[in-house]
Amino acid sequence: MKKLLQTLTETFGPSGYEDAVRAVVMKEIKPLADEVRVDALGNVIARVKPSKGAKKPKRVMLAAHMDEIGLIASHIDRNGFVRFINVGAATGRYTLGARVRFLNGISGVVGFDRLENFDESVSLSKMFIDVGASSPKDCPIKVGDVAAFERPFAEMGKRLVAKSMDDRAGVAVLIETMRGLKSTPHDVYFVFTTQEEVGTRGAATAAFGVDPDIGIAVDVTPVGDTPGSIKMEMKLGAGPCIKIRDVFMLADPRVVKWMVSAAEKARIPFQREVLLIGSTDARAIQLTRAGVATGGLSIPIRYTHSSSEMVDYEDLKNSVKLLAALLGKAVSF
């Protein structure tokens, strides 16, 4: 899974430009699924049919998003510096000083205007991307060109660090779950979604098309285990998190109970997630059509939406185990 995760995280794919990531996903999953299709928004929808003899199989949708946060050029000034705006929740504290790469392969570094107070927080409106140009004529970037963070994958013991762990870690977990799934009583749809970072758009259309009975979003969740962090229970290395609440959704209690029971029976370490910031594809799945019983499996992560997001490898492996436990047995609700 580490090699797969390295490939996924080092692949360029901001919201709306997931083509290269989709190609990696398609190559991995085609031998593992009974059916694979791509919908109008670019979501990859892979179906694994229930085992023969399965009685009243539930249609289960598992979703992990392929896109990452990015930047989009909004103006080229007279000295060739590129002004930009965010694609998704790119923030000043992590964007300043970052190296980025544009879709056309051009690299740049993010700088900032002169500040009177060097301790002040810098907004994106005061930043620019330096691509080595000296005027608009020799600037290789045009208004509308899209960029993402550029950083290599790194291992720090059991901790793995890369840009776009949000949510390539979830994508890797879904692929590894498919790889190990020999049979299931469910009709399972593994969905690799687009444009989550700009409003869970891909999940909304995919869920409408799949029309699942149960939905589970597999994403990352910020932790509360670093100095001075928001007081939250989630931490690295303590197992995958079973979502109970985030800013935009309340998990279905039946799904929470199902996930907790599966983890306890299989003796898989897990955490209860009450998230105080952000949300996931679960919000869109839950509200599709007439409503879907929805929950979330979240991978603890540090430094969310930075170029150096950190996850724990044991959490990834236990996430795969928990999904396998869920898909291995029928559910009554």
- Residue 83: φ, ψ to 5°: -85, 155
Could you give the angle at the alpha carbon of 214 between the alpha carbons of 301 and 332, nearest 5°? 120
**Catalytic residue from among 18, 68, 176, 196:** 196
* Residues across the chain: 333
Residue 273 is among the residues annotated as catalytic for this protein: no
In this structure, how many other beta carbons lie within 10 angstroms of the beta carbon of residue 261?
14
Count of beta carbons in the 10 Å neighbourhood of residue 115:
11
Cα–Cα–Cα angle for 245, 251, 252, rounded to 5 degrees: 150
Q: So which residues are the catalytic ones?
A: 196
